[in-house]
Structure 1
Amino acid sequence: MTTAAHPLVVRARRLADGLLAPQAERVDQEGVPASHIEALKGSGLLGVTAPAEYGGADAPAAVARETAEILAGACCSTWFVLTQHYTPVKLLASTELPVRERLLGPLVRGELLSGIAYAHVRAFPRIPVRAMPERDGWRFDGTVPWYTGWTLNDVMLLAGVSEADEVVFAFAEAREQPGLRPSPPMRLAALTAARTVSLDLHGLWLPGESVVLRTPREKFALVDRPRNTNASPAVFGVAYAALDLLEGNPEAKETARSLRGRLDEARREAYALWDHPVPHERIEERLAWKLRAHDLMRTATTAALVAGGGRSMGLDSRAQRLAREAMFLLVQGQTAEVRRAHLGHLSGFPGPTDAPGSAG
C-alpha cells in the first residue's frame, strides 16, 4: 500500500478497525446505522479529493482509492452508502453555477451527505426518467430503479434526459415530497443494509438554481464509460479482507500467499490505468484487469468459505458476508458493455479481454 502514511488513510484504517469491521456482521443483518454515518461525516473522508478552500483534503486519487479499499473491506454496506457521495462533490467542484456555493462546502465538511440517482441514464435507449423545462426550473417524471442510502442521505443528485437528448443533473432533498415517493426498502441478497429503494417521480419540480450540469447524453456516456470499465477499489478491498481471513487459518496460508501475489499485480496494473492521462483510452485493457480483479475476488472469497467449513453457512460468518458482498460487486455499476465482456470472459470465448498482454 503506497499511500499508507497519508493522514486520511490512517484515519480510514482506524475507523475500519475500531468501528466498521467489528460491527460488520450485525450491520449486514440490521442495516447501516446513523451512528456510522455520523462517524464518517466527522472523519474528513467526505472531502478526500475536494478543494481545500471548501474544507477538502485535495488528496491524490491514490489516497481516495486506498481509503475506499479499506472501508469496503471492513463493511461494504457502509462504504457503498459513502461512495455515492463522491460524484456529487466532484460535479460541484467542477461547476461555476450557483449551486456550488450553496452545497459544496457543507458536503465536503460532512455537514451533509449526498446520494445519487442517475445510474438509469446508462439504460439508453430506454429513458426511465424524463426532465422537462417548467416554470424556470425542471420537472422530473419516471422511475429511479435504485437509490441507496434512503433515510441516511440529506440530498440527492438526480438526473433525467430532456427531449433534446440532454442529461440534466440537479440536486433535490432526499426525502418524500410532492412528486417524489420512495418504495419500501429492498430486500437484497447482499447489501440490504445500505437502504436501497426505488423512487417514483411524478411531477417533481426543482428550481433552476438546483441544476449542477446539463450535457449532451453522448458526451456524458463518453465521460462515464471509464468509470465502469475500471476495476473498483472495493473489489480489491473485499478480496484483501478475504485473504486476511485465509491467513489466519493454518490450512489456508499457502492459498492466501498465492492469491495475494496475483491480487497485488492486478491492483498495480488496474490503478496504473486509472491514472492514465486520457480516461477514455485503453478501454480493452481496463476491462481486462477489471475482469481479472473480479476473478481473484471471487476466488478469494470462495476460498474463505471453503476454509471456514460449515461455519461459513451461519449469517454471522464473515466469510459468507464477504462472499455475498463479492457477488454484489460483480454487478455493481454494470453496463451492457461490461456485462458482455464479463460473460464472454466466463464462457472462455476469445475476445478483446483475452488478448495477449491483457488479463484473460
Structure 2
Amino acid sequence: MDEHHLLNIATSYLKSAVFPESAEIDRSPQALQNALNGLGELGLLALQVPSVWGGLAASAETYYNFQQLVARYSGALAFLQTQHQSAAGMLVRSQNQSLQQEYLPHLSNGNILLGVGFSHLRRRGEAIVKATPVDDGYRLNGTVPWITGFGIFQEFIAAATLSDDRAVFGLVPFVNSDRDAGKITFSEVLPLAAMTSTNTVTARLDNWLLKCDRLVSIKPPSWIHDNDKQNVLKATALALGCALASLDVIQATYSNKQLAFIHLALEKLHLELSQCRAAIDKAANESYQTKLKLRAWAIDLAVRCAHCAIAVSSGAANHNHHPAQRIYREALVYTVSGQSTDLMAATLNRLIDSK
C-alpha cells in the first residue's frame, strides 16, 4: 500500500469512526476493542511487519506519523495498538521461524492480538521475574507489574531474567492458566486515572513453563537500557499527537468564543509544535542527551497544550466526559510511559528550567 494512501485511510477512519466515540473508547473496553478491530479490518495493525508476512512494511517515518495520528483522536486506542505493534516487531526480529509462521500473517488484520510485558526490566536491583532453564524450556517465577489489554489480547510477550542477567522473552497466555505444574494468575483491572478501558493488570507467574517453541528471543543484560537509548524519540509521536488533540479543542473553543487571546495562544502553540517536530525529524545523528531533551520537550508540550485546553474550556473541563479532561489525563500517561531514570531527569530539568 502506498504510504500516503495508508495515512489517508487511517485519517478517514479515525475522524469518522473513532473521534466521535473517543470518550466512550476511553472508558469502555468493548468500545476500545471495536475501535481496534476497525484498524484490523483496514490491515493497519502490523505496519512495520514485512509484506512477506502480511504486514505493510511501512517506513519509520510513516509509522511515526501513524502513531501521532492515532494519538490525536484517541489516546486509549493509540496506547493499546502500540503494544500490539511492539509485539509484532519483536516477532519479526525473532529467530524462531515456526513462531513467525504461526503468528505474523495474522497480526495485521488483528485475527491474533498480542500484548507485551517487559517494562519491569528497567527496574534496578534484584529481578522481579526470574527464568530458570529446564530440559524443555524455562520455568518463570515472579510478578509482571504492568500488562495492558486483558480481555482484548489473547497472549503477551513476557520477559524474565536469567541468573546471568540476560532476559528471556516468550509468548504466554493472557488468561488465568494452570498447566505443566505451573500457573499464571492475573489481578483485577488496575484502577488507573487514565485510559482505564485498556484493562491494565499485573500477572503472577508461579513455576510457569515457557517451552522452547514459545521462545521469542534471549537478550543481553543491557538490552532494555540500550533499547531505550536507541528508541528514545519514538514515543514522541504519541506525545505530539496528544498535543494536537489539545489544539483541536482550543481551535473549536476559539471558533465558538472568537476571543483574540485564544487565537494568539493557538498560533504560538502550533508554531512550537512544528518546531519540536522539525527538531525531532532532524535528530537521527544527534547525541543521546540531545534526544532526551527533545523527548522531554515533547512531553512538556503535550502537558502544556492539554493545560491550555483545560483553561479555555473553563469549568466544563472539570466534567469527566469533556475532551480536555480526557486529553489532560492522556498527557499524564505519556509523561511516564517507557520512563527511564535518564528520561525522568530530562523531564524534570525541562520542567524546572522552563520560563
**TM-score normalised to the size of structure 1?**
0.90
Residue 84 of structure 1: SS of its match in structure 2?
helix
Please say if 1:115 is aligned against 2:125.
no
Structure 1 residue 193: Cα displacement: 1.4
Aligned to 1:282: 287
**Could you list the per-position Cα deviations for residues 242-269 of structure 1 after superposition, in whole angstroms to 9, with x for gaps in the alignment?**
1111122122222111110110110121
Aligned to 2:264: 254
Q: Which residue of 1 aligns with 2:299?
A: 294
Q: Which residue identity is paired with 2:17?
A: L
**1:319 alignment counterpart:** 324
**Structure 1 residue 74 corresponds to structure 2 residue 79:** no
Alignment RMSD, CA only? 1.9
Mapping 1:38-117, distance limit 5 Å? 38-97=37-96, 98-117=98-117
8 Å CA contact 1:25, 1:318 repeated in 2: yes
Match of 1:351 in 2: none
Query: Do structure 1's residue 212 and structure 2's residue 177 form an aligned pair?
Result: no
Distance, in Å, in 1 between the alignment partners of 2:232 and 2:196 is: 22
Give the superposition deviation at 1:14: 1.5
Structure 1 residue identity aligned to 2:196: T
Q: Equivalent residue for 2:11? A: 13
Separation (CA, whole Å) in 2 of partners of 1:228 and 1:207: 32
Contact 1:228–1:334 (Cα < 8 Å) also in 2: no
- Asked if 1:342 is matched to 2:352, the reply is no
Structure 2 residue matching 1:144: 3-state secondary structure: strand
What secondary structure is seen at the aligned counterpart in 2 of 1:133? strand
What residue number does 2:202 align with? 198
Following superposition, the deviation at residue 231 of structure 1 comes to 4.7
Which deviates further from its counterpart, 169-178 or 143-152? 169-178
Instruction: Give, in angstroms, the shift of residue 307 of structure 1.
Output: 0.5
| 8 Å contact kept, 1:8–1:48 | no
TM-score normalised by the chain length of structure 2: 0.91
Indicate the SS of the match to 2:45. Answer: helix
Q: Secondary structure at the match of 1:108?
A: coil
Q: Could you tell me which runs of 5 or more consecutive residues in structure 1 were left unpaired when the two chains were aligned.
A: 349-353, 355-359
2:23: which partner in 1? 25
Change (3 A) 1:225 1:66: same
**Structure 1 residue 164 corresponds to structure 2 residue 169:** no
CA distance in 1, matches of 2:95, 2:105: 14
* Cα drift, residue 235 of structure 1: 0.5
Deviations 1:44-76 (A, max 9, x none): 111211101111111111111111111111110
Say whether the 8 Å CA contact 2:146–2:201 is kept in structure 1: yes
Describe the SS at the equivalent of 2:145. Answer: strand
Alignment deviations for residues 109-153 of structure 1 (CA, whole Å, 9 cap, x no partner): 422111001111111323111011123111111111111011100
Task: Indicate if the aligned counterparts of 1:235 and 1:329 stay in contact, CA closer than 8 A.
Answer: yes
Q: Does structure 1 residue 240 correspond to structure 2 residue 244? A: yes
Letter in 2 for 1:112: I
Q: How many residue pairs end up in the alignment?
A: 342
Q: CA deviation at 1:228?
A: 3.8
| Aligned-partner SS, 1:217 | coil
CA displacement at 1:220 relative to structure 2: 4.2
SS in 2 for 1:50: coil
Q: d(CA) in 2 for partners of 1:109 and 1:296?
A: 33
Deviation at residue 5 of structure 1 after TM alignment: 6.6
Deviation at 1:212, TM superposition (A): 1.3
Unpaired segments of 5 or more residues in structure 2?
Answer: none
SS of the residue aligned with 2:222? helix
SS at match of 2:204: strand
Letter aligned with residue 219 of structure 2: T
Identical columns (%): 25
1:131 is matched with 131
User: How many angstroms does 1:32 deviate by?
Assistant: 5.0
Shift >6 Å, 4+ stretches: none
Classify the secondary structure of the residue corresponding to 2:228.
Answer: helix
Amino acid at match of 1:241: A
Q: For residue 177 of structure 1, what is the amino acid of its counterpart?
A: S
In the TM superposition, residue 327 of structure 1 has moved relative to its aligned partner by 1.3
Cα distance between partner residues in 1 of 2:279 and 2:239: 14
Pairing 1:308–2:306 present: no
* TM-aligned CA distance change 1:7 to 1:80, over 3 Å: same
